[in-house]
Structure 1
Amino acid sequence: MSFPAYPGYKHSGVELLGEFPDHWTLKRFKNVFGERAERSTDGTEELLSVSAYFGIKPRSETLDEGDHLSRAESLEGYKVCQAGDLVINIMLAWNRGLGFSWQRGIVSPAYCVFYVTDGSVPKFLDYLVRSDECIRYFKTHSAGIMDSRLRLYPESFGRLFTAIPPPCEQTQIARFLDHETARIDALIEEQQRLIELLKEKRHAVISHAVTKGLDPTVPMKDSGVEWLGEVPVHWAIKRLKQLVLDAAGIQMGPFGGMLVDLDDSDTGYKVYGQENTISGDFSSGNRWVPESRYFALSNYHLEVGDIVLTRKGSLGNCRRVSLLPQAGIIDSDTIRVRVQDQMMNPDYLELLLHEAGYISIQLSLVKRGAILSGLNSEIIANLVIVVPPPDGQEELLLEIKAASSKFDQGISDCEYAVGLLRERRSALISAAVTGKIDVRGWQPPARAKAPVLEAEAV
């Protein structure tokens, strides 16, 4: 299905707005909204949160584990917003940090709250102000020298222009977008469920391979570990500390004052940390130590073949160093593991730390129901590792890589589809709220594919 353009257009006189349907009205936002100044007298109203992803929601629905509802001692004096009000985080308007609230509540005193004064339909306006065109417009007129410092002050917002259709047409556009975005969102959710399913299957295949092997006929033995079960009879069960070169084979980075006053120019000796481990890029970073301190801290130096883990967070942040552009040492947020190659292939150990379910189980047991604030060398040293013979590790790596590539391709295809759907969703919203397509004759079809924009249909 495609949608036509409107019969006639006129130019707004504003470069970023361009043309709009000739029966729509060009207005400044100050003629659409008035600013609400009401404040909470006791702070007992529902605290609302502003997000680029979902607009306005109760803060209680967006909390991650360990988050606080608010760090303020009292919410007295917070700004009141009513259902149908626009809330703008002036520091993040350029990044879609705004939206309409559909309930009464309170928001941060640093935000701006606006109510509709011209009879426009809030649902339409919500799509409008969160559209790509409006966000670019807001960014252009925000004050500041860099993104992190941009501010869209209420006076600037009020001076900006927008094209407004008649109220009945606003309602129709909102109905159309509600229907079509819900359909696209359902497709996105379906793809995301498939991604999670593929990841789970990939994880299950790898976890089975690294605990049971590839040959289902091989004799098995009891591992002696309740949560591990049986393993191939010729495989060994060891602690990770039994697989390293020496006492310094598992090493946390230096604490205290050993890494203060770092150089910000290249001395030839780098400090490697969390950002390198997460990205896998050991050429990035801008922390260096002088030669004398590097040699004084040589116990913490990094080599090609080492495995590094982020000390804070999960073992998913794990890398084997395959290329090291400069000599350097690890920082206090990093744990280095240096295994004996003849006993454990570093690539195979990296795979275990990334993917093996039995490693995750051990970390869960260490937590003992509490939040693990940070890993340490003792926890890593005592991890139970199932060790196939060296030649078996090579074979497992090849087989797992081949099996994983199929899952990885499926995941990549789904992620690509999600990206296209999100682009389509944004394009559809922008086309409708700016009058590029005419949906006045649209009615919800019983069965239909996602609509094609006029430009796509040509």
Structure 2
Amino acid sequence: MIEQLAALPTYEAYKDSGVEWLGEIPAHWWVVPLKHALSLTSEKVSSRNSVLKYYGMENIESWTGRFIETESEVEGLANKFNENDILFGKLRPYLAKVALTENEGICSTEFLVYRTKKYAAHFFKYLLVSTDFINVVDASTYGSKMPRANADFIGIQRLPIPNLSEQTAIATFLDCKAAQIDQAMAIKEQQIALLKERKQILIQNSVTRGLDPNIPMRDSGVEWIGEIPAHWEILANRALFRERIEPGEEGLPLLSVSIHTAVSSEEIPEDENIRGRIKIEDKTKYNLVWPGDIVFNMMRAWQGAIGAVVVKGMVSPAYIIAIPNEKIVSSYFEYQYRCPEFIQQMDRNSKGITDFRKRLYWNEFKQLLTVVPPIEEQTAIVTHIETQSVKIDQAIAIQQQQIDKLKEYKATLINSAVTGKIRVPEVAA
């Protein structure tokens, strides 16, 4: 399905393009500024009550140009485009938001709308999304927080132009190969999703049902928990934890808690060490945490921002710190409270009218219910989860590496085809 680039034919003769990022191109191709090949349209319309489909930056998938449905509503000026126009995202061009339109519509003014009549638009879509071209444009941006590319700069960039039949052949070839590569990546992404689901089921079953499938079970008396091993307990967190309020110390790392990776074990990166626009200088206002403490973000606990601390450090005053007693192993508790049912329990007990204002306070945390096996079983469960998780994570990493290689191959294939470094089979024939 996916051949080596070295196996694809090349052209008989090449010449220097005179453009650094292009290098040599086929001898019969020519080089012209983008503005001579594509017209930049600037028809502005109001998006209010428009019957035309709207394309925002968030609606275009990076590198593929696929349309992604969103529920966002936009009011204001928009750029109008026709079928077969090319949209090029000038905001943060490294995102490679480039799309070939299939219908008439309107789009964000952060898109440049290009149109061609005598060339194959499909070919130029691939040319403008090639990593070499994106890198050139991205290097020219202005503005640090919201970097944008200048349309005049893009317009003078010199592009390689084959004849029309070659443009069509190259675009058709890339359509076919891109579809094959995307399908291969989709299969691997499905495999990753299944592995992640398997890991979640492993954790959930282990922390609520134990490791022995033949052990006697009993009704927990809590509908959303269901059955648990007969000798396990259901305890409120007030029987398991007490709150820690202890000032921080200079020199300790400032830790964060994430809905994805629980509590960090290293200092928050410098570029994230900011609250609003004020850099944190006086860390003594933050609270001390010790290994084994449970920390959760009051504002995001209901999303799963909870976990066990593994290094001595400090956390934001927006976090609550719970010290476990001898009945509970911190890492076991973390695994349990990052399961969907327990995240939902935190959600139900959080206070606030809207999600933005929702908080899980200490008094509400104390009322939450925890499934508590004997301490030695908790330790065995943690060991089992960690051992099996390593294997699953390794399998996920292998799939992700293969996806990354496919993405790299796709990018190289597009670059090579649109700049003439390879000759596609249709042209060779």
- TM class by shorter chain equals 0.7 to 0.9
Residue in 1 aligned with 2:234? 237
CA distance change for structure 1 residues 310 and 422 in 2, over 3 Å: closer, same or farther? farther
Residue in 2 aligned with 1:138? 137
- Residues in 2 aligned to 1:25 and 1:380: alpha-carbon distance in whole angstroms: 69
Residue in 2 aligned with 1:13? 18
Q: CA deviation at 1:183?
A: 0.8
Q: Is the 8 A contact 2:290 2:309 kept in 1?
A: yes
Residue in 2 aligned with 1:49? 56
Counterpart selection for 1:25 from 1, 12, 30: 30
- Residues in 2 aligned to 1:180 and 1:290: alpha-carbon distance in whole angstroms: 54
- Residues in 2 aligned to 1:278 and 1:205: alpha-carbon distance in whole angstroms: 18
Residue type of the alignment partner of 1:99: A
Q: CA deviation at 1:110?
A: 4.2
- Residues in 2 aligned to 1:366 and 1:122: alpha-carbon distance in whole angstroms: 55
Q: Is the 8 A contact 1:29 1:159 kept in 2?
A: yes
- Residues in 2 aligned to 1:347 and 1:387: alpha-carbon distance in whole angstroms: 13
- Residues in 1 aligned to 2:344 and 2:119: alpha-carbon distance in whole angstroms: 55
- Residues in 1 aligned to 2:212 and 2:265: alpha-carbon distance in whole angstroms: 36
CA distance change for structure 1 residues 268 and 105 in 2, over 3 Å: closer, same or farther? same
- Residues in 2 aligned to 1:37 and 1:382: alpha-carbon distance in whole angstroms: 60
Residue in 2 aligned with 1:162? 159
CA distance change for structure 1 residues 269 and 109 in 2, over 3 Å: closer, same or farther? same
Residue in 2 aligned with 1:322? 310
Residue in 1 aligned with 2:69? 62
Q: Is the 8 A contact 1:213 1:396 kept in 2?
A: yes
CA distance change for structure 1 residues 339 and 442 in 2, over 3 Å: closer, same or farther? farther
- Residues in 2 aligned to 1:228 and 1:279: alpha-carbon distance in whole angstroms: 25
Residue type of the alignment partner of 2:342: I
- Residues in 1 aligned to 2:65 and 2:181: alpha-carbon distance in whole angstroms: 21
1:289 aligns with 2:282: yes
CA distance change for structure 1 residues 55 and 85 in 2, over 3 Å: closer, same or farther? farther
C-alpha distance after superposition, 1:40-75 (max 9, x if no partner) = 2564122112345166566xx432xxx5322x3xx3
Q: Is the 8 A contact 1:99 1:129 kept in 2?
A: no
Residue in 2 aligned with 1:412? 397
Q: CA deviation at 1:201?
A: 1.5
Residue in 2 aligned with 1:123? 122
1:331 aligns with 2:317: yes
CA distance change for structure 1 residues 366 and 417 in 2, over 3 Å: closer, same or farther? farther
- Residues in 2 aligned to 1:68 and 1:381: alpha-carbon distance in whole angstroms: 38
Q: Is the 8 A contact 2:79 2:108 kept in 1?
A: yes
- Residues in 2 aligned to 1:20 and 1:405: alpha-carbon distance in whole angstroms: 48
Residue in 2 aligned with 1:362? 345
C-alpha distance after superposition, 1:195-227 (max 9, x if no partner) = 111111121122112111122332222100112
Residue in 2 aligned with 1:200? 197
Residue in 1 aligned with 2:332? 348
Stretches of structure 2 that go unaligned for 5 or more consecutive residues are: 274-279
Q: CA deviation at 1:269?
A: 6.8
TM-score (norm 2): 0.85
Q: CA deviation at 1:316?
A: 3.9
Residue in 2 aligned with 1:90? 90
1:214 aligns with 2:211: yes
Q: Is the 8 A contact 2:34 2:154 kept in 1?
A: yes
C-alpha distance after superposition, 1:276-296 (max 9, x if no partner) = 9767143235424275x56xx
C-alpha distance after superposition, 1:351-373 (max 9, x if no partner) = 2123x3431443465589x9744
C-alpha distance after superposition, 1:355-394 (max 9, x if no partner) = x3431443465589x9744441244333221001111111
Q: Is the 8 A contact 2:126 2:414 kept in 1?
A: yes
Which stretch has the larger CA shift, 276-285 or 44-53?
276-285
Q: Is the 8 A contact 1:244 1:338 kept in 2?
A: yes
Counterpart selection for 1:40 from 15, 38, 45: 45
Q: CA deviation at 1:331?
A: 2.9
CA distance change for structure 1 residues 3 and 271 in 2, over 3 Å: closer, same or farther? closer
Stretches of structure 1 that go unaligned for 5 or more consecutive residues are: 255-265, 295-299, 445-458
- Residues in 2 aligned to 1:402 and 1:306: alpha-carbon distance in whole angstroms: 23
Coordinate RMSD, CA, aligned:
3.1
Residue in 2 aligned with 1:100? 100
CA distance change for structure 1 residues 269 and 288 in 2, over 3 Å: closer, same or farther? farther
